[in-house]
Amino acid sequence: MASTDAVRIALVFALTCCLVLSTGACLSGDETKICDNASLPLFVFVAGIEGSGHHMVNSLFKRLSSFAMRAYLPTLHTYDPTFDGPMPLYYSIIEKELYEQRMKGLIQFMDNAKKNKKFAAILFANSFPMGLHSGTYATSRPDLIDLKDFECKLYRIKFLVTRRHPLATVMSAVRRFGSRVTKYDGLKQIPRDKKVDLDEKVLPYTVTARITEDNLIYINQQVRQLSCHQVHFVDYDKFINESTRKDALQDLATFLELSEPDTKVLLSTKLNKPKTAVTIPPRCTQCLEKTLYDFFEERKMMWPLLHPQ
C-alpha cells in the first residue's frame, strides 16, 4: 500500500510539474481578490536570480514614457535606513509595521510617478541575491510575500519573474561580479600550502552555482504564494530570439494592460544579444560548463516554476 501511495504521489508531482512547464502558471492557492482601487499607484517588481535578465527588462521599459523606473531603493533593501551603500545586512526585518515604515522611500517614488502622470512605477534591478557585496548572505534578497501583503493598502502590485537557464546566469554573473567571491571569502587568509586542492579560477563559478541553486528554490516557493493574476514570467531567450520576441512582447503588454501607443513602442523594441555566449547543453564533455550544466540538471525539479520555457 505504501508503495502504491508513493507512486500516486510521484505521478501527481510529475503531472503538476508538466502543467507548470507547459502553461507557465503559478502554483498559488485560492486567488486573492483583485485590487481594483485605481487611486493606488501600480507597482511593478522584477524578481529573478542574478544574470537572468534585469538589464533586459530595463531595455524594454526605458523607452516607455509612461513608466517611472528605478534600479533599486537602498532604504528598502538595507537594514539601516541612514546607510546608502553596499552592506551585508539586507532584508533582515520581519516586523510588518517596521517594514512598512522602511517603505516610505518606495511610496514617495510611486507618488512622484503618479504626479508626473506615469502609468506605473517599476523597480527592475532586484537580483537574488541583492547587492555587489552581499555575497552569500541569506538575507540579501527581496521577500515577495512581504511585498504582496501591502497590496491594496499601499499600492497595486504585479511581479515580473525573469527566467533563464541557470548555467547562463552563472556565466553572466561571474563575468561581471566574480571578484566578489574571491575578495570577500577570506582566501587571502588561507596559507598557500593549504590551497593545494583549491582552484581559485573555478571557485567563483562553483560558489555562484550554489548561491543560484538556493535562490531558485527560494523564488520558486515564494511565487507559489502569489496570486496568478499578479505574476508574469519573462523568459530571457524568448525576448532575445527574433522568432519568438514579438509574441513574448505582446504577452507582456497584455499582462501589464499597456495602452495601444505603449504596446506599439514595446513591440518595436530591439534587444542586443547577450555578451556571455553559452551553448545549452554544452558541446564539450570535460569542461567547467558541462560540470555546471550537470549540477543544475540533477536539481532542476526543485524549481519547476523557474524553468525557461
Task: Kindly report, residue by residue over 78-133, the tens digit of the pLDDT.
Answer: 666 566 555 556 666 788 888 888 788 888 888 899 889 998 999 887 788 775 55
For β-strands 127-128 and 42-49, DSSP reports them as: parallel
pLDDT confidence bin for 27, thresholds 50/70/90: very low
Hey, what's the cell of 187?
Answer: 582566501
C-alpha 239: how far from its chain's center? 16
Q: How much is the pLDDT for 83?
A: 61
Calculate mean pLDDT across residues 205-218. Answer: 91
Q: Cα angle at 119 between 114 and 120, to 5 degrees? A: 80
Which region, left, alpha or beta, applies to residue 257 given φ > 0 means left and ψ of -120 to 50 means alpha? left
Calculate mean pLDDT across residues 214-240. Answer: 93
- Residue 3's identity, in one-letter code, is S
Q: What is the pTM of this model?
A: 0.84
pLDDT at 13 over 90: no
What DSSP designation does 159 have?
E
Task: Kindly report, residue by residue over 255-289, the tens digit of the pLDDT.
Answer: 999 999 999 999 998 898 888 789 999 999 989 99
Please give the Cα distance from 129 to 87 (Å, whole number): 12
What torsion, rounded to 10 degrees, do the Cα atoms 181, 81, 45, 100 define? 140
- Residue 5's identity, in one-letter code, is D
**Top-ranked range on mean pLDDT: pick from 39-48, 139-148, 158-167:** 158-167
